[in-house]
Amino acid sequence: MGFYSRLSALIPKQSCVLCEENAKFCVCHECESSFSNHQPRCLSCAHPITGELDFCGQCLAHAPAFNRAYTLYDYQDAIADLIKAFKFHHQLCIGDYFSHQLFDLYQSIISTDIQYDAIIPMPLSRNRMAERGYNQVLELLNVIRKKTDIIIDVHSVDRTKATQPLSALNPEQRKQEIKGAFSVKPMSYSRILLVDDVMTTGSSLNELASTILKNTEVKYCDVMTLARAESKFN
């Protein structure tokens, strides 16, 4: 049975959506251990890097508006399938699994000396929200919301411009397309963490971070994503 037909079939609660073996969540340990997370990564944009430097060439040339980027996986193979199944087919068990993984990542980030005043999930445009019925990024924050006191702010930023899908555009076109896409309300936080599902060139997160930094009292902005996609333009 293929991956998508397995998903649409009735999956017994305790089995892996990838291999159908027994699993605590909907992904078993064996499949989990095959997920790729290349190290080291650029401290600034989480792109895999080699060598001695902490940053990739791109960030050394043009640092993004956010300070640090944290991610869990490379966007490829089974992870790409799982994210698509969650995002476009609303597979809640996968969202729940990812939500636990993001909670662990968040815990490890704040166990260093970094503390945030709020988490801001990447907003969807009204049209996309109406079409999809939910913001998948917000669902990824379910476990963090349940287990911590951090403010998850969904009211202070809005996506006011409906952009065309950025995946077909090169980095320059992406930057143009996303420019002015967000509006922000005053916020009194100093340090925030922006969250999105997948980061490719980072143009959406960069535009959101730079809009917030320019228009509010926020001084420091990091980003956390489920996966980092290889931009074919990098």
Closest to Zn ion by CB, 31 or 209: 31
Binding site for Zn ion (CB under 5 A): 16, 18-19, 21, 28, 31, 42, 44-45, 47, 56, 59
User: Distance (Å, rounded) from C-alpha 205 to C-alpha 210?
Assistant: 8
User: Distance (Å, rounded) from C-alpha 48 to C-alpha 40?
Assistant: 6
For residue 158, report the phi and psi dihedrals to the nearest 5 degrees: -135, 150
Closest to Zn ion by CB, 81 or 158: 81
User: Distance (Å, rounded) from C-alpha 30 to C-alpha 52?
Assistant: 32
- The pair of three-digit structure tokens given for residue 87, joined into one six-digit string: 């995002």
User: Distance (Å, rounded) from C-alpha 90 to C-alpha 156?
Assistant: 25
CB 181, CB 161: distance < 8 Å: yes
Q: In the bound complex, what is the minimum distance in angstroms from residue 32's beta carbon to Zn ion?
A: 8
Q: In the bound complex, what is the minimum distance in angstroms from residue 29's beta carbon to Zn ion?
A: 8
Q: What residue type is 82 in one-letter code? A: L
CB 200, CB 231: distance < 8 Å: yes
Q: In the bound complex, what is the minimum distance in angstroms from residue 17's beta carbon to Zn ion?
A: 8
User: Distance (Å, rounded) from C-alpha 166 to C-alpha 231?
Assistant: 11
Q: In the bound complex, what is the minimum distance in angstroms from residue 42's beta carbon to Zn ion?
A: 3
Closest to Zn ion by CB, 16 or 208: 16
The continuous run of DSSP H or E covering 78 comes out as: helix 77-89
Closest to Zn ion by CB, 82 or 187: 82
Contacts of 42 (CB under 8 A, 6+ apart): 48, 49, 54, 55, 56, 58, 59, 69
Closest to Zn ion by CB, 157 or 224: 224
Closest to Zn ion by CB, 47 or 159: 47
